[in-house]
């Protein structure tokens, strides 16, 4: 079994403690690789390397930074099948989605590389003659990136790509469930030509490594994707040090099916949105809100399709749903199934751990459908698993009210052939992302991604907004009059 160290100042090194942990395949328990268990001392070394590398990288021409990112994207493209298999083995998503995770990373790096020739500011006239005003976007400095396990290649590339093109240096902590994907990605960035010290990888626990990154005085900006509780703790700690903080947190995403929707299309979208990645996406569909006129038809057709889903080894291309990512995830989801039943929700399908061959060695749960009432915990709290709650409503107004009546606001969807309702939903749904006649998953990298309410704190990843998280705006005034001019002084 291969053992990886930390990647600090361009070298793979041992952790200060010499201790390690093992990454495992959630489908069968196979040990994949061992990783250094980092500490605060290791974070200090990584920050020191990033700090030393920052001045040269800041002044490295942005188009040249873009060329490095394009090369990284090209290497990812060459190794897409290989790395996609690593994603599937380490995280558990089916192989098509594992390759899709890598493809999203490729797409974003190719897209954000173009910002090297943009990094747009503004120019405006001055109130004084022979003077011009403009803004520049400049890097913040050393950035801490803390990423989740559910998109172990794509989300790190979202953060690292935007931070790098902006001229920042990085200390990167991946989730402890998926460090192998992170190590493979670092190898690719190194091969692509990212200079020594610009990107540093420190694996280890959130309590030790994550907290050290959050609290380190020389890390000026933090980008975190994960749960709401952890996000709030990070925000409090970091904001007390006046750090820039970008948070992308949870979701409780609704799909609305109106009485005029194309039902079969809506159900196909729903199956992908709710049970793709075994429901372990922040954008996963967890609430199905259905107009009462088509509720019976939707219920019947959905149950029929649910019964045909194949659950098993995610490397098998015929499988629809793989395992959940860990025993901890499995335990949490099973507890929510009990909560739903105790609340009085009707279990229509699933609701159990799968046993027997080939399930005993992994964390396999049956896709689950509840018939629920709005306000139950399973309709309000993020479960992050293959669990869907079906809710009946009388009309569009009630559908929107139910959709919005949660603490999250990441993704949303409505299926309707009524153009008036579609445009009203674009306005009315409280979410950072809205889909019309498409599922709640499937964000494209050239549009901003993020949410409202407890889903985040206003920052956005991807799209033209991506570099805003990792840059400061500087206002510049150029006076070419050859004399002192006093703005706002009229006497």
Residues belonging to the active site: 248, 282
CA distance 154 to 240: 30
Q: How far is CA 229 from the centre of its chain?
A: 16
CA distance 72 to 80: 12
Q: Is the Cα dihedral 202, 203, 208, 211 positive or negative? A: positive
Produce one character per residue of 290-318: b if its CB has 16 or more CB atoms within 10 Å, e if not.
Answer: bbeebbeebbebbeeebeebebbbbeeee
Read off the tokens for 140. 């913040």
Q: Is 27 left (phi over 0), alpha (psi -120 to 50) or beta?
A: alpha
Q: Is the Cα dihedral 353, 30, 99, 412 positive or negative? A: positive
Contacts of residue 477, defined as CB under 8 A and 6 or more positions apart, other chains included, come to 126, 131, 132, 133
CA distance 384 to 330: 10
Read off the tokens for 451. 């949410």
Read off the tokens for 283. 């954008």
For 352-470, strand residue ranges (E) read 368-371, 387-393, 408-409, 411-415, 433-436, 452-453
Nearest Cα to 389, choosing from 377, 400, 378? 378
Q: Are 171 and 42 in contact (CB under 8 A)?
A: no
Q: Are 364 and 310 in contact (CB under 8 A)?
A: no
Read off the tokens for 360. 């005993």
Residue 287, beta-bridge partner list: 254, 389
Produce one character per residue of 458-484: b if its CB has 16 or more CB atoms within 10 Å, e if not.
Answer: ebbbbbeebbbbbbeeeeeeeeeeeee
The torsion angles phi and psi of 290, rounded to 5 degrees, stand at -125, 135
Q: Are 40 and 32 in contact (CB under 8 A)?
A: no
């Amino acid at each position: 079994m291969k053992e990886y160290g930390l990647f600090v100042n361009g070298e793979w090194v041992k952790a200060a403690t010499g201790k390690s942990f093992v990454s495992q395949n959630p489908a069968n328990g196979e040990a994949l690789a061992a990783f250094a268990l980092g500490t605060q001392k290791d974070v200090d070394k990584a920050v020191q390397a990033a700090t030393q590398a920052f001045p040269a990288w800041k002044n490295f021409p942005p188009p040249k930074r873009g060329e490095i990112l394009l090369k990284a994207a090209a290497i990812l493209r060459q190794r897409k099948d290989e790395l996609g298999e690593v994603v599937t083995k380490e995280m558990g998503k089916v192989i098509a989605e594992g390759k899709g995770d890598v493809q999203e990373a490729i797409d974003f790096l190719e897209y954000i590389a173009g910002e090297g020739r943009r990094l747009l500011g503004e120019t405006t006239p001055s109130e004084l003659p022979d003077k011009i005003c403009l803004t520049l976007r400049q890097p913040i400095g050393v950035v801490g990136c803390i990423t989740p396990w559910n998109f172990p290649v794509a989300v790190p590339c979202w953060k690292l790509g935007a931070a790098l093109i902006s001229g920042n240096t990085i200390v990167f902590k991946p989730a402890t469930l998926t460090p192998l994907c992170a190590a493979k990605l670092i190898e690719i960035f190194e091969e692509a030509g990212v200079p020594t010290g610009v990107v540093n990888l420190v694996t280890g626990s959130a309590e030790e490594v994550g907290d050290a990154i959050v609290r380190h005085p020389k890390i000026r900006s933090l980008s975190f994707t994960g749960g709401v509780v952890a996000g709030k703790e990070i925000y409090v700690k970091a904001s007390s040090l006046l750090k820039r903080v970008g948070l992308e947190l949870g979701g409780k995403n609704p799909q609305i099916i109106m009485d005029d929707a194309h039902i079969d299309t809506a159900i196909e979208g729903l199956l992908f949105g709710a049970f793709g990645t075994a429901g372990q996406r922040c954008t996963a569909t967890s609430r199905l809100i259905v107009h009462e006129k088509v509720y019976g038809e939707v219920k019947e057709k959905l149950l029929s399709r649910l019964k045909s889903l194949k659950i098993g080894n995610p490397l098998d291309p015929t499988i629809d749903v793989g395992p959940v990512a860990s025993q901890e995830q499995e335990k949490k989801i099973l507890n929510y199934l009990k909560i739903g039943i105790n609340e009085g929700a009707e279990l229509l399908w699933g609701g159990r751990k799968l046993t027997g061959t080939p399930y005993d060695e992994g964390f396999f749960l049956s896709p689950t459908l509840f018939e629920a009432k709005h306000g139950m915990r399973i309709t309000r709290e993020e479960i992050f698993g293959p669990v869907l709650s079906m809710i009946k409503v009388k009309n569009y107004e009630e559908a929107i009210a139910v959709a919005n009546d949660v603490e999250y606001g990441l993704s949303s969807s409505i299926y309707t052939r009524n153009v008036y309702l579609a445009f009203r939903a674009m306005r009315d749904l409280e979410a950072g992302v809205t889909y019309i006649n498409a599922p709640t998953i499937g964000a494209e990298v050239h549009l901003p991604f993020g949410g409202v309410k407890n889903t985040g704190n206003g920052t956005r990843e991807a799209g033209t907004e991506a570099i805003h998280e990792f840059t400061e705006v500087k206002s510049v005034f150029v006076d070419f009059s050859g004399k002192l001019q006093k703005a706002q002084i009229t006497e």
